[in-house]
Chain A
Amino acid sequence: EVQLAESGGGLVKSGGSLRLSCAASGFTFSNSHMAWVRQAPGKGPEWVGQITTSSDGGRTDHAAPVKGRFTISRDDSKNTLYLQMNSLKIEDTAVYYCITSGWSHWGQGTLVTVYS
């Protein structure tokens, strides 16, 4: 069974940083493109970015609102996906989900709250 477990969320002051992790199991992580999606309170989901497999170059792509501030990475030896978030803004407040390629599996999410 595919399982994705996000962690690392919390309360952070505007301008601060956080690193989210997503521990994956139940599938061959190294063969899977992965992505992060967020959902602000009461809003629909929003794609944050994605990373290809390491064999495909580990190429990343980030949404415009987070480009230059957020960085997606992966460690296939640990079956873990990361989201490094810097220069956080109030509008980054959301539940952050990691998802598998094709949007077929989502984690339970981790809440990030940015305050001024």
Chain B
Amino acid sequence: DVVMTQSPLSLPVTLGQPASISCRSSQSLVHSDGNTYLNWFQQRPGQSPRRLISKVSNRDSWVPDRFSGSGSGTDFILKISRVEAEDVGVYYCMQGTHWPQTFGQGTKVEIK
């Protein structure tokens, strides 16, 4: 299985400051169809996960533009330009290129 490795696992951030989460895969996530199936999910405390970003950089409609995704091949990043209180939670990257789909361990974002 493709191993997804996130860092850091814990991310204390000051309100209004930027945050960045790294996700690395053990194999390239470029699919034979040319797409890179790398998603990011947010899970707020006590809630179900929600997809934030699909195919590396495509934000879902509910997602504020302070969130952005980038990367290619095996290295990906989720950035929050200015952290707000509602951003507290655990963030997961997930690859859908190789069977089976696999998730990273999660990065817990909290306010300092």
Contact, CB under 8 Å: B102 / A47: yes
Contact, CB under 8 Å: A109 / B48: yes
Contact, CB under 8 Å: A106 / B106: no
Q: Are A63 and B60 also in contact (CB < 8 A) when A97-B48, A103-B51, A109-B48 are? A: no
Contact of A103 among B39, B99, B102, B105 (CB under 8 A): B39
Q: Does A9 contact B (CB under 8 A)?
A: no
**Residue numbers in B under 8 Å from A63 (CB-CB):** 100
Q: Does B69 contact A (CB under 8 A)?
A: no
What is the distance, in angstroms, from A7's C-beta to the closest C-beta of chain B?
Answer: 15
Q: Contact mask B92-112 → A, CB, 8 Å, 1/0?
A: 101010011111111000000
Give the size of the chain B interface in residues (CB under 8 angstroms).
19
How many A-B Cβ pairs are below 8 Å? 37
Interface of A is mostly: mixed
Q: Are A47 and B48 also in contact (CB < 8 A) when A103-B39, A103-B94, A104-B60 are? A: no
- Ordered nearest first, which 8 A-B pairs have the shortest CB separation? A106-B48, A44-B103, A47-B101, A44-B106, A103-B51, A45-B103, A63-B100, A47-B100
Residues of B within 8 A of A (CB): 39, 41, 48-51, 54, 60, 92, 94, 96, 99-106
Q: List 27 A-B contacts (CB under 8 A).
A: A39-B49, A44-B92, A44-B105, A44-B106, A45-B41, A45-B92, A45-B94, A46-B103, A47-B100, A47-B101, A61-B99, A63-B100, A64-B100, A97-B48, A102-B51, A103-B39, A103-B41, A103-B54, A103-B96, A104-B51, A104-B54, A104-B60, A106-B49, A106-B50, A107-B48, A108-B48, A109-B48
